[in-house]
């Protein structure tokens, strides 16, 4: 049996299970209220799959990484009723870093791609950590992040090998 037969068979079974659950528990899973993020997620996954199946045009990984990350984020937002949206804004710029990092991994490893990956990804991860710490650690002062980052970069500049 072909791989595609397994894929389609599994997809149809999962779709049937979701439809049964939808009808029994009145989940409304198959309404536009919940499905609209798929219009972002599916094209992102198609970009990713096209590259990983054909191994041509690695540039598809950038929009694939961005759209897939944003689509998963929107699905999370929809199913949690947007209650974490004030914490997840750093994921938007992080999606760009993810797309560029995929391109870095699957091309000639041009080090020039790592500069925006670390700048954008670092900004996003530091922002996400600050948001989480601000609410869960009352002693945390987010005003100390920027000076601490400057000190760490300064130490790196002083101790790096030339």
- pLDDT tens string 96-119: 999 999 999 988 777 888 899 999
Which structure tokens are listed for 100? 């560029």
The pLDDT assigned to 5 comes to: 74
Residues 25 and 56 in one domain: no
pLDDT over 90 at 72, yes or no: yes
Q: What proportion of the chain, given as a percentage, has pLDDT over 90? A: 35
Range of the domain at 41: 31-159
If one counts the domains in the chain, the total is 2
Give 48's pLDDT tier (boundaries 50, 70, 90): very high
Looking at the structure, do residues 37 and 21 belong to the same domain, yes or no? Answer: no
Higher pLDDT, 12 or 109: 12
Please, are residues 145 and 126 in contact by the beta-carbon 8 Å criterion?
Answer: yes
* pTM of the complete model beyond 0.85: no
Region 25-29: mean pLDDT is 71
Residues 85 and 110 in one domain: yes
Whether the pLDDT of residue 138 is over 90: the answer is: no
- The overall average pLDDT reported for the chain is 86
For residue 79, pLDDT over 70 is answered with: yes
Evaluate if residue 32 carries a pLDDT over 90: no
Closest by alpha carbon to 116, among 65, 40, 75?
65
Higher pLDDT, 92 or 28: 92
DSSP string, 82-103: TTTTTT-TTHHHHHHHHHHHHH
Instruction: Convert 24-56 to b/e letters by CB count within 10 Å (16 or more is b).
Output: eeeeeeeeeeeeebeebbeebbebbeebeeeee
> Which spans in 59-90 are helix H?
61-79
Could you tell me if 85 and 116 lie in one domain? yes
Taking the C-alpha atoms of residue 65 and residue 72, their distance in angstroms, rounded to an integer, is 11
In contact, 124 and 93? CB cutoff 8 Å? yes
Residue 8 shares a structural domain with residue 42: no
Q: CA–CA separation, 36 vs 54, rounded Å?
A: 28
Ranges 23-27, 144-148, 156-160: which has the least confidence: 23-27
Which H helix or E strand runs over 160?
none
pLDDT at position 76, please? 93
* Counts for the chain of helices (H) and strands (E), in that order: 7, 0
**Same domain, yes or no: 44 and 19:** no
| Pair 13, 57 in one domain | no
Q: Are 107 and 58 in contact (CB under 8 A)?
A: yes
- Do 86 and 18 share a structural domain? no
13 with 83, same domain? no
């Amino acid at each position: 049996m072909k791989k595609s037969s397994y894929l389609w068979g599994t997809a149809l079974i999962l779709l049937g299970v979701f439809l049964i659950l939808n009808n029994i528990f009145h989940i409304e899973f198959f309404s536009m209220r919940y499905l609209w993020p798929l219009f972002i997620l599916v094209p992102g996954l198609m970009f990713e799959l096209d590259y990983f199946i054909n191994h041509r045009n690695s540039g598809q990984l950038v929009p694939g990484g961005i759209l897939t990350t944003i689509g998963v984020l929107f699905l999370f937002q929809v199913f949690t009723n947007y209650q974490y949206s004030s914490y997840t804004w750093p994921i938007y710029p992080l999606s760009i870093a993810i797309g560029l990092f995929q391109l870095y991994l699957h091309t000639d490893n041009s080090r020039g791609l790592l500069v925006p990956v670390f700048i954008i990804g670092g900004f996003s991860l530091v922002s996400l950590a600050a948001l989480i710490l601000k609410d869960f650690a009352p002693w945390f002062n987010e005003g100390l992040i920027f000076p601490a980052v400057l000190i760490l970069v300064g130490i790196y500049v002083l101790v790096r090998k030339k």
